[in-house]
């Protein structure tokens, strides 16, 4: 894999939690990364370029992607929210990003999807990337929408689109659920690299997960594309189990992969939920 490092790569959502963890790693690989968000990152470096943009404003999105070769799209509302919040930031905003990218002849887009697009699959079932989406929240619905939109722009307009169903990004898993879905910042950046550089990308869905023995996901497609995660959730099991004891049981969330996203606002019988 190779990429002309002088090509303009735009990174939306750069001031958020994932952006903050991955930016220093990306900066070493891709000098001149163009950062974008509604607010400027607090630790902006001298060699970093920041362009403010609100995803709900098409003209601002168009300005930030102008001249770009690739976009890493992490921007949007990052947790469950009201319908208006999700609609504006994650659905309208996502459309604005893809359409601006098409108009600007952007070649590649990496879309930050989420495990919550498939959160109602039971924990006892291992799933691949080809399953029917079973979102666990309005947030999860917006990620399923983004995947569908990515497929449209890949098939209709020839854009190379990579959707990453990200688990939980951090320096170690924070509870037992995260032993199955954890991804280190280094491993996530490795997936970004595949999306930016691999010559065979047309439309791909991969799971954003490290080398987790307790994983609920078959990530073999990512491995075929060269993914070699170095993070191991099992190395942090003692910490995760100790933290889990502080949380207590969740009769709904403990059944499904989406955890508390499934139990929030839940009014169904747990036996009738999920596939």
The catalytic residues are 139
Measuring CA to CA, how many Å separate 17 from each of 23, 42, 177, 218, 235?
10, 12, 19, 26, 23
- DSSP states of 165-205: EE-EESSS--STTHHHHEE-HHHHHHHHHHHHH-TT-SEEE
Q: Is 190 left (phi over 0), alpha (psi -120 to 50) or beta?
A: alpha
- DSSP states of 205-262: EEEE--S-TT--B--HHHHHTT------GGGGHHHHHHHHHHH---TTTTTBTTTHHH
Q: Tell me the angle at which helices 93-103 and 58-65 cross, rounded to the nearest 10 degrees.
A: 40
Q: Is 82 helix (H, G, I), strand (E, B) or coil?
A: coil
In angstroms, the CA 111 to CA 66 distance is 18
Measuring CA to CA, how many Å separate 180 from each of 42, 204, 217, 252?
31, 21, 8, 17
Structure tokens at 235: 């190395």
In angstroms, the CA 150 to CA 118 distance is 17
In angstroms, the CA 152 to CA 59 distance is 22
């Amino acid at each position: 894999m190779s990429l002309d490092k002088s090509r303009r790569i735009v990174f939306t959502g750069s001031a958020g939690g994932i952006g903050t963890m991955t930016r220093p790693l990306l900066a070493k690989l891709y000098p001149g990364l163009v950062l974008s968000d509604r607010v400027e990152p607090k630790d902006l470096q001298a060699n970093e370029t920041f362009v403010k943009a609100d995803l709900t404003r098409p003209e601002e999105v168009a300005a930030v992607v102008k001249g770009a070769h690739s976009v890493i799209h992490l921007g949007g509302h990052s947790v469950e929210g009201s319908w208006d919040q999700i609609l504006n930031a994650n659905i309208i905003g996502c459309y604005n990003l893809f359409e601006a990218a098409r108009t600007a002849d952007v070649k590649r887009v990496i879309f930050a999807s989420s495990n919550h697009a498939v959160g109602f699959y039971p924990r006892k079932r291992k799933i691949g990337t080809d399953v029917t989406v079973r979102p666990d929240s309005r947030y999860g619905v917006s990620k399923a929408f983004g995947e569908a939109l990515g497929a449209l722009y890949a098939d209709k307009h020839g854009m190379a689109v990579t959707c990453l169903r990200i688990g939980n990004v951090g320096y170690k898993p924070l509870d037992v659920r995260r032993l199955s879905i954890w991804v280190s910042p280094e491993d996530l950046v490795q997936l970004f690299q595949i999306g930016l550089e691999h010559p065979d990308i047309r439309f791909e869905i991969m799971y954003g997960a490290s080398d987790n023995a307790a994983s609920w996901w078959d990530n073999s497609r990512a491995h075929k594309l060269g993914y070699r995660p170095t993070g191991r959730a099992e190395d942090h099991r003692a910490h995760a189990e100790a933290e889990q004891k502080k949380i207590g049981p969740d009769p709904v969330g403990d059944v499904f992969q989406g955890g508390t996203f499934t139990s929030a606002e839940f009014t169904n019988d747990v036996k009738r939920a999920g596939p």
